[in-house]
Structure 1
Amino acid sequence: MNLVPLPCRLLACLLPALLSAAPVLAGGLAPGYRNLPFSAPEPGSYELPVLGTAADGVVLDSDGRPLRLHALYDGRIVLLGFIYSTCDDVNGCPLATVVFQKLRNALKSEPEPAGRLRLLTLSFDPEHDTPEAMRRYGEGFRDGGVDWHFLTTRSEAELQPILEAYGQSVQKEYDAAGRSTGKYSHLLRVFLIDGQKRIRNVYTVSVLHPDLVLADVKTLLQEVPVPVGGQAASPPLRAGDDKTGYASPAYETHALALDARRGRPADLFQRAQRPVLGLPKLPVPADDPLTPAKIALGRKLFYDRRLSLNQTFSCAMCHIPEQGFTSQEQATATGIEGRTVRRNAPTLYNVAYLTKLFHDGRESSLENQVWGPFLAANEMGNPSVGFVLDRIESLPDYRGLFEQAFGRGPGMETVGQALACYERVLVSGDSPFDRWRYGHESGALSEAARKGFELFTGKAGCAACHTVGDRHALFTDDALHNTGVGYRASMDKTPAARRVQVAPGVSFEVDAKTFAQVAEPVPGDLGRYEITQNPADRWKYRTPTLRNVALTAPYMHNGVFASLREVVEFYNRGGEPNENLDPLIRPLGLSAQEVDALVEFLSSLTGGDNQTLVSDAFAAPVGNGR
C-alpha cells in the first residue's frame, strides 16, 4: 500500500476512518491495528518497573501558549508520543495516533480511569508543525473522553534537549541533492509516565497495542491511587480532593471512598533497611529496634478507629496517606465529633529524623508523642491511658499480637513503641532533586528548578533553616523560629463582618455579633512560649521539613497559606514584623520569575517511592467500631 505525504488536516480526518477499517486493512498494517493473538494481562496482576525520571521541557500548546511538560503531567498517568504530522509510514506516527484514539474509545464507558489519564502528542518537526498545524491535526480527535493535548515547540533548539532526555533519536532525510525531503527517520516510541513523573514503560511498534497499554494504565492506577481534579493548573501530585471549580454546577469530587481504596502490602521492614537517596541512615533507638512484628502491629493501631473514645477516629484520619500523611482538606485538624484542633496536622514523612515533635517541639520521642493525640479531648478523646489499654485488651483481633511483638501484653510502653516503629519507617527520599544533586542525573531537575535551588541556597536564604548537606538533606534545622505567622494570627482583630459560604457559589455577609453566637472563638496560640514560659519564645514554631511539601498544603502551623506561592511571597515580604522576629527573616527582593523558580524547586522534593507507602496504607485493616 503506497502512500504519499498528506497535509496534517487531511491525515487527521482520515485516521478515524482507518481506525474503523482496521479489520479490513490489518494484513498490511502494524500489529497495533489488529486484535492481540493472546489475552492482555489482568491489570494489577503484575508490576511495572521504574525506568527513570520523565524529563521536563518547554512546549507550546495548540493555541501557542508556552507550558512545561511537568505542568501537564500534574499527578496524572500520561502517555507521551513523539510524532510529525505529515508522516506517511503506517507503522510509525499514524499508528501512535490510532492507538491513542482506540484508548479514548475504550475508556468512554470508564470515566474514573479516563479522568486520570492524559495523552500528549508532541511533534518533533516544529518548523512545519506550528501550533496552528497541531491544532488542525487534533481536530479529528475532540470527541470527549480522555484529555488529549497536541503540542509542539518554538524551535528545534528548544526541542532537542527534550528528545535527548527521552532517548528519542530523530534524523531528517535528504535527497541526492542535499535537499530536505520533509521526512524523518525515527523509531516510534511512546512513554508511559506515572503520577510521580517516572517512566514506567516504553512502547515500540511491536508492543504498541491499545489492550496492552490499557492494562498498564489500569495497573498504575491501582498502584498509585492519587485523585486528580482534572485541572491542568493544579499543583504537581496534589493529593486529596481538589476543590477547583467547587462553586460550579459541573463540579465532581474525585475523593476515594474507603471501600474504593485498593492497596498492596509492602515489606516495610526490608524497605527501612535500604539506603534512601538524599537521606542519612535511619535513626533507630537502641531500646526500640525495628522488627516486622512491631511495624505490623503499629500499622494496625495507626488505622484503627476503635482506639478513640467513640470508636470513630484513627491516627490516619488526620495523617491521611494519600495526602502526604497530613490533611489537605482543612487548615487545622478536626478530632472526634468535629471538635476543633487549633493547629495543622504535620506530615509524618521522615518523622524518624526529628528530635523535636509537635509544632512547639514539646516531645522528643515518637514513643511518647503518640499518647498526645490519644488523650487530647479534641483529638481522639480518650480519658486515660488505661481506657485505651482496656479497649485494646477487649478486641479479639489483637489477641497474641503484642505477645508476638514484645513478649508481653499491651501497655503504655508497648503501644507507644509499636506506633513509633510504624511511623519511623515512613521514609521518603529519592526525589527528582535527590537524583539530580546526589544521584548526578543531569536531566532529573528542570532548568527552572535548578534556578530555584540556586536561590534557595543563595539570595532567598531558605537553606539557613531548611538545611541541605553535601551527602544528604533533611530540609530542616530541627529548631524553632518566629517568622511572624503566629504573631499576626494573635494580633488580628475580629472583623465587623465575615463572608460565609453556605453552599457551592452561595455566600452571605454575617456580622460579628451573629457569627459569635454560632462559632467558637479561635483559641490563642503563643507557640513555644506555652511550653517554656519564656517571653523570648513567643510565636516560635518548629521548622518543618520541605520534603514532599507539594503534597502537604495548607502550610504553616495554622494552615494559613493554601499554596506554596503564598508561602514564598510571605517570606519575600520579610514575614510579619514583631519584637521577637527571627533575625534570619528579612525582605528578599525576589522577582515574580524568581518566586516561580523557587516554587518549581520546592515541587521537585516529592519522594520517588511514596506510592509504596500509600499502597501499603490502603491495604491496612481499618478497625471500625460497632
Structure 2
Amino acid sequence: MIAQQLLRKIGWLIIILVNARSYADTSPPTLAPGYGNLQFTAPEPDSYTLPPLGQAADGKVLDIEGHDTSLHALIGDKAKATDKIVLLSFIYATCSDVNGCPLATTVLHKINSRLQKEPELAKKLRLLTLSFNPAHDTPAQMKHYGASLQDGTLEWHFLTTRSEQELNPILNAYQQNIQKIYDDKGQDTGTFSHVLRVYLIDQQRQIRSIYSLSFLHPDTVINDIKSLLQKPTAKTPPSPLKTIDALKTIKHPPLGLPPVPIPDNNPISLQKVSLGKKLFFDRRLSLNNTMSCAMCHIADQGFTNNQMATAVGAEGRTVRRNSPSLYNTGYFSLLFHDGRETSLEQQVWLPLLTHNEMANPSIGYVIDKINTSADYTGLFQKAFKKPASMETVGMALASYERTLNSANSPFDRWQYGHDQQALDAKAQRGYQLFIGKAACSQCHTVGDKHALFTDNSLHNTGIGYRDAMVSNDNKQSVQLAPGVFVNVDAQLLASVSETKTNDLGRYEITQNPAHRWQYKTPSLRNIQLTAPYMHNGSLASLQEVIAFYNQGGIANENRDPLIKPLHLSDEESKDLAYFLTQLTGDNVQELIDEARTAPVGDRQ
C-alpha cells in the first residue's frame, strides 16, 4: 500500500528514472524495504549483540541557527554512558533518489513517529542529519528542510558545514564517497552520486551498526537501539549439547538421508563447527562490516531469503541469482546454481570476495580482519592447530554448513520408516504422480534407502532462455517492494538503464554452447520453506513451478529432453503440490533454534 501511494504521488517515470540512474547495474529497480512493512519478524532485542565497528569521528558543523558546534558535542561521551544513542545520516536537501536521502529521512521520521508511543525510549535517542552540500544547504535551508519533520518527540538536529574543506574530513572518516554530477558541458548539476549509509552510534561514540538501503528499516533499527540499551545480565551460555546434536546429524543423519560425505583432510569436530558458525554469522567478514553469510541464508527462512527473488549484497548491490538453501548442502557434488564449485571448503570464498556480495578486496584482507579481532584469538589454533588462513576459514565454514541436515519428513517416515499412517491419501496420490506421470523423480531422484531429491546434475528448463531471449509483450516486470511488481514498457526502461547482463548458466563456466541456460537441480527437501523458486527466484509458489513444468518449460534448442508437457489436470497438480509439502523435515525448528545460539561479532 505504501509503495502504491508513493507511485501515485511521484509517477511511474520518476521512479524508473531515479532507480535506473542510481542503480544502473541492477535490474529490475526496486523500492527499498524501508518504505514498506518488514517481511519477517525482527529478532528480539535481548537475543543478540551488536559488536563495535569503530570509533565515531568528530568534525566541525553548524546547527540550523548558524552556531558552531561539533559532532562529538552531539555524539555521546567516552567517559560516561549516560548520553543518548545517536542515528547519524548524510543527505542533501534536493536529492531526488527515492532510495537515497529521502529513504534515510523517511526511516528516521518513521522512527520518530513510532517512538511517540514509547516516550522513555525517545528520551534516549538523538537523530543527526548532516548535509554534504554546504553550498546549497545553508543553516536556513536545513532549518526549512527539518521544519515539517520535527514534532518534539525526538531530539533531531539538522546540520551543515561552512565549506567543503570542513566537510571533507568528516566524509572521509565515515567512508562517505560523494561525487558531484556534471552535465555534458561540464557544469555542476547540483546533484550527487552517493551510497546510502546510516550510522548507529552508542553512548561511548562507538559505531555499532551501518545500515545500507536494503537493511535500513524502522523495525530493525528500533530493535537495535533497544538491544544497545539492554542492561548486561548474567545469562546461561548456550548448551554445548546443541552443537553435539548437530554433529549427530552428520554421523547419524535423520531418516531418509545417507551419511554425510566428510573430506579426509577436514574431519568433523566440535571446535570446527563452533568456529564455522561464528564466522557464518559475523558481519565483520564483509568489507563494510554489515553483511554476514546468514543475511542471505536466513535460518528462519529456510536458510535462503524468502523476501527477495535475487539476493542483495553489500551496499544494496543486486546479485543475479536467488540465494540457494543450505539445507543438506553437505551432500551436493555441485555448488552454486551453475555448479562452478565442487567443494564446500572452496565454495565459501566466492561470496566473501564477490563485489556485489560481501565485497572483500582479497583473501588477505579477510584473514587480517580475523587475526586482528580479539574474539578470534586462539580459536583457529584450537580447531586446527594452525592459524587462520584461506584453508582453515574454508574448512571451518564448511564444517558448520555440513551440520544443516534435515529429513525425517512425513514422506521419509512413510517410505523408509514404513509408517503407513505418515502420508494421507492425497499425498500418496501426489507421490505416484511424482514418480510417474509428472516424471519429477527423473531429476529429483528417490532411492531405495534414502532420497536427496536431486540428481546433482544440471538441466536447461527454459527459464534462463526466456529471460535472455524472449520478449514479454514489450513489458518488463519491475519489483517495487517485496511482493509488489508492475509491468513497465521495456523500451522506456531500456532508455534509462544499462543493458542487462544475460545469465547463461553453466555456459559461463564451460564455454560449451550446449550448456547455455543449464542450472543445477535443487533438492526438494524442505521445498515448502524455500520460496521463491528457480535460479532467478522468478516463480513465487509451488503451484507456479508445477504449472511451468506442466506446460513443458520454455522451448529452446538446448532444452533438456526430459522437459516436456505433462498434461496434469488441476486436481493432479494440487495433489502433486500437496505431496511436496510433505518433504519438510521434523528438525527444522531445532536447526533454527540452534542457529540462534550463534555468537555475533565480539560476543563469545
TM category, shorter: 0.5 to 0.7
Structure 2 match to 1:435? 413
Offset at residue 423 of structure 1 (A): 0.3
Distance 2:219 2:421 in 1: 35
Structure 1 residue 492: deviation in Å?
2.8
Distance 2:268 2:492 in 1: 54
Kindly report which structure 2 residues correspond to 1:22-171, keeping only aligned pairs within 5 A, or say none.
Answer: none
**Residues 1:305 and 2:283 are matched in the alignment:** yes
Q: Which residue is 1:356 aligned to?
A: 334
Residue 360 of structure 2 is matched in structure 1 by: 382
1:549 counterpart = 2:535: no
Equivalent in the alignment of 1:616: 594
Q: How many residues align?
A: 373
Deviations along 1:499-523, one digit per CA (max 9) or x if unpaired, are: 7676899998755465346655432
What SS does structure 2 have at the residue aligned with 1:346? coil
Q: Distance in 1 between matches of 2:394 and 2:326?
A: 15
2:456 match: secondary structure: coil
CA contact 2:375–2:602 (8 Å) conserved in 1 = no
Contact 1:326 1:345 in 2 (8 A): yes
Matched residue of 2:426: which SS? helix
1:456 aligns with 2:434: yes
Q: Deviations over 1:40-62 (max 9, x none)?
A: xxxxxxxxxxxxxxxxxxxxxxx
* 1:592 matches 2:570: yes
The structural deviation recorded for 1:407 is: 0.4
The equivalent of 2:148 in structure 1 is none
**507 and 398 in structure 1: CA distance in 2 versus 1, 3 angstrom threshold:** closer
Identity among equivalent pairs (%): 57
In structure 1, the partner of 2:95 is none
Q: For the structure 1 residues 401 and 287, does the alpha-carbon distance in structure 2 shift closer, same or farther, using more than 3 Å as the test?
A: same
Q: Deviations over 1:434-478 (max 9, x none)?
A: 011111111111211110000000111110110001110000000
**Pairing partner for 1:483 from 431, 440, 461:** 461
Q: Distance in 2 between matches of 1:579 and 1:586?
A: 13
Structure 1 distance, partners of 2:425, 2:253, is 28
Give the aligned partner of residue 561 of structure 1.
539
User: Structure 1 residue 270: deviation in Å?
Assistant: 3.5
Q: Is the 8 A contact 2:308 2:482 kept in 1?
A: no
What is the CA–CA distance in structure 2 between the aligned matches of 1:460 and 1:572, rounded to whole Å? 8
Shift of 1:272: 2.5
1: CA distance, partners of 2:484 / 2:558:
41
Give TM-score scaled by structure 2 length.
Answer: 0.58
Task: Give 2:274's aligned amino acid.
Answer: A
Quick one: which of 445, 457, 470 aligns to 1:492? 470
1:392 to 356, 367, 370: 370
Contact in 1 for aligned 2:310/2:319 (Cα 8 Å) = yes
* Residue aligning to 1:470: 448
What is the CA deviation profile of residues 478-511 of structure 1, one whole-angstrom value per residue up to 9, with x for unaligned ones? 0111111111111133765567676899998755
- Residue type of the partner of 2:276? G
Question: Is the CA contact 1:306–1:624 (under 8 Å) kept in the aligned structure 2?
Answer: no
CA RMSD of aligned residues (A): 2.8
Amino acid at match of 1:323: Q
Gaps of 5+ in 1: 1-251
Return the alpha-carbon distance in structure 1 between the equivalents of residues 452 and 483 of structure 2: 42
Q: How far has the Cα of 1:354 moved from its partner?
A: 0.5
- The verdict on how the C-alpha distance between 1:583 and 1:304 changes in structure 2, with shifts beyond 3 A counting, is same
In structure 2, runs of 5+ residues without a counterpart are 1-217, 228-234
Code of the residue aligned with 1:330 in structure 2: it is M
CA deviations on 1:217-276 (whole Å, 9 max, x unpaired) are xxxxxxxxxxxxxxxxxxxxxxxxxxxxxxxxxxx999996789x996512223432231
Name the counterpart of 2:272: 294
Does 2:393 correspond to 1:415? yes
Work out which of the two has the higher radius of gyration on C-alpha atoms and give 1 or 2: 1
CA distance in 1 between counterparts of 2:320 and 2:387 reads 35
Alignment partners' CA distance in 2, 1:370 and 1:592: 42
- Answer whether contact 2:307 2:482 (CA < 8 A) is retained: no
Q: 1:467 to 1:257 in 2, by over 3 A?
A: farther
Instruction: Give the AA of the match of 1:452.
Output: G
Deviation at 1:623, TM superposition (A): 2.2
Distance in 2 separating the partners of 1:516 and 1:576: 24
2-side partners of 1:398 and 1:488: how far apart?
Answer: 47
Query: Which residue, out of 291, 300, 316, partners 2:294?
Result: 316
Q: Which amino acid aligns with 1:553?
A: A
TM-score, structure 1 as length reference: 0.56
